Structure 1
Amino acid sequence: MKKILFAVISLAVLVGGYLILGSIYKYELYELAMNAEKSRAGLIEKQVKINGINVSYLEGEKPEGKPTMLLIHGFAANKENWLRFAGNLADDYHLVAVDLLGHGKSTKDKSLRHDLDDQVAYLVNFLNAKGLTKVHLVGNSMGGAISSLFAAMHSDRVLSVSLVNPAGIFDHRSVLADYLDRGENPLVVKKLDDIYTLMDFAMEEKPFMPWPVPEVVAERSMANQDLNEQIFKHLKSTEHAYNFKEELGKIKAPVLIMWGEQDRVINYKNSDIFDQLIPNSRKLIYPDIGHVPMIEIPQRSSQDIHAFIEKNV
């Protein structure tokens, strides 16, 4: 009996010690996990300061003669959303994944503007600072809306556009709209458990995400809650310096519209409107996928984009 009691106590001490050490070093463990993913994708994290604004980004090697692909994440997300997607394209493109203003490790300042056209302007400054003239754009959700505007306003700098469940058109009602009507927003993390609610809401095919990754992501999102709410409110406003639907007609580059049919954030039926308004577009629907195909099916979605570029550019 004493041996059993000793074993139980020893196990409790070990587990308790593990939890304490894990809690202390969870950010270090998170960085180790992210660095391993970046290494597998062939990406290096970098920083550049432009007009007082710090921009954080991931960059891969530039294969000789290969074009640049700029990856633009969505609302309340970050450049790391593209890690597993990017790893499939490293041999064919010079990959750059950027943290948008107010997101990730880029500057967070509530006094700055974060509307779609403002983000386009920040990205133009970023490309100029990097000496990049023409790029393939790939944008998810809010990043898809930004990519659309970028391609319309700076057509001479765009080789192709891949819109992954893009925001900007909400003619067909989504599940998210029902939440917003009740005063809830599952896209804004306010407490630790919200990260799991968000993952369930945004994804149909959730990848394995080991501890402490979800907890660290949640804590960083919570720290950015006020700015996220401000950005979301601005995006949902009807007062902008542009007419989004009219801008789509100005896009000259070939466009691939990709959408998960189980998207609860933005109804996939809005893809029809994008397809109608963009002059040179193709549409691809994934039946069993949610809002972030590049995370849910990174290999398939990256292959589809590569095949589209090979055929149309």
Structure 2
Amino acid sequence: MGRLVIGQLVVGLGVVVLVIAVVLVATWLVLRRPDIPFEKLEAKYAVPTSHYVDLGEGVRVHYRDDGDPKAPVIVLVHGFGDSFLTWEGWIKALSPHYRVITLDLPGHGLTRAPATYAPEPDRYADLIDAFAAKLDLPPFAIAGNSMGGGVAWRFALRHPQRLTALVLVDAAGWAPPANSPPPPLAFKVMQSGFGKFLLKTIETRPLTAQGLKADVVDQSLITPAFVDRWVEVQRAPGHRPILMAVFTARQAPATKETLAKITTPTLVLWGEQDHLIPVANAKAFADAIGGAKLIIYPDAGHLPQFENPTRSAGDVDAFLKGLAK
């Protein structure tokens, strides 16, 4: 009798496990989202000033080139999961006076790269150097937001001869303090192997929308169309594996000693209500880089260039014109 009961329990447990497995597989099949061909994404999101340049090893960089070709150059570098479109407000404000170049890093936007591309910050910085050489750019200002800010200050260390100015917008790089708030749910998921597998294949709209709304003060800015763009562009062939690899990429954190080596005139812009990278990091950057100017926006979060493009672009313009005097 005891053996019969145990046998029935084992069979019952097996059925439950099988049902759970079927439900999980069915859910995965329903939520699975295939890659979107580049041709389709380019037709939807490229703009009249879009261009493409091959840098070898399967990397074809998409960039936008706006403004007067003879004007001073500023290169804009987006953050994690973002693209050249994050700079739309700055392009509008700055292109009457500058040649504004925005590029998509490998794994982002409309840039093509092998799925095995290693997205290390130093490698991104060297890619921008190769990109500048390919376009034969004169010395330029570089501005970067979030991850792109981390790439920008590393670029200033590795290729200072190319720069006239450095602008850090809620830049990445400092190790998070012990009392920092927990990261967004999407970032937590990406820190596990199973989570990375899921995010490489399934619908990420809910997590993306949640993360983007946490990045801004005025959540009405995060429209369905805005989320569509983020989600769809990340489904370009090869992008999702590269995005997941960002979280395992080798990157030495910023230190006061390292940043003190930057001699490029520097402007630090930050949203006071940034819950992803604390405003304390803004002060750390400004203190570490000799002569850096700091501007904090009380009514902005992690994306000041998107939340308040007119004011933040105006501050950049004033800073660059001040250097030219």
Q: Same fold (TM over 0.5)?
A: yes
Match of 1:275 in 2: 286
Kindly report which structure 2 residues correspond to 1:59-74, keeping only aligned pairs within 5 A, or say none: 59-62=65-68, 64=70, 66-74=71-79
For residues 89 and 256 of structure 1, what CA distance do their matches in structure 2 show? 16
Q: 1:30 to 1:205 in 2, by over 3 A?
A: farther
SS in 2 for 1:193: helix
> Could you list the runs of 5+ residues in structure 1 that have no partner in the other structure?
1-26
Q: 1:133 to 1:78 in 2, by over 3 A?
A: same
Match of 1:230 in 2: 245
TM-superposition CA deviations, 1:220-258 (whole Å, max 9, x none): 335643321211232xxxx54x56324311211110111
SS in 1 for 2:113: coil
Match of 1:6 in 2: none
Are 1:166 and 2:175 an aligned pair?
Answer: no
Count of aligned positions: 275
TM-superposition CA deviations, 1:138-189 (whole Å, max 9, x none): 1000111111011112111110111000000134354344758965779x79
Q: 1:286 to 1:184 in 2, by over 3 A?
A: same
Whether the aligned pair in 1 keeps the contact of 2:186 and 2:207 (CA below 8 Å) is no
**Percent identity of paired positions between Structure 1 and Structure 2:** 25
Match of 2:23 in 1: none
Whether the aligned pair in 1 keeps the contact of 2:90 and 2:305 (CA below 8 Å) is yes
SS in 1 for 2:286: helix
Match of 1:55 in 2: 61
Q: 1:105 to 1:280 in 2, by over 3 A?
A: same
Amino acid at match of 2:232: E
Match of 1:9 in 2: none
- Which of 244, 248, 253 aligns to 2:254? It is 244
Deviation of 1:30 (Å): 8.7
For residues 161 and 200 of structure 1, what CA distance do their matches in structure 2 show? 28
Amino acid at match of 2:210: T
Moved over 6 A (4+): 27-33
For residues 171 and 208 of structure 1, what CA distance do their matches in structure 2 show? 27
For residues 126 and 207 of structure 1, what CA distance do their matches in structure 2 show? 36
For residues 111 and 221 of structure 1, what CA distance do their matches in structure 2 show? 15
> Could you list the runs of 5+ residues in structure 2 that have no partner in the other structure?
1-37
Kindly report which structure 2 residues correspond to 1:167-182, keeping only aligned pairs within 5 A, or say none: 167-172=172-177, 173-177=179-183
> Bigger CA drift: 289-298 or 176-185?
176-185
Q: 1:190 to 1:163 in 2, by over 3 A?
A: farther
* CA RMSD, Structure 1 to Structure 2 (Å): 3.0
- Which of 217, 221, 224 aligns to 2:230? It is 217
SS in 1 for 2:117: coil
Whether the aligned pair in 1 keeps the contact of 2:84 and 2:103 (CA below 8 Å) is yes
Deviation of 1:71 (Å): 0.3
Are 1:200 and 2:213 an aligned pair?
Answer: yes
For residues 226 and 41 of structure 2, what CA distance do their matches in structure 1 show? 6
Are 1:118 and 2:123 an aligned pair?
Answer: yes
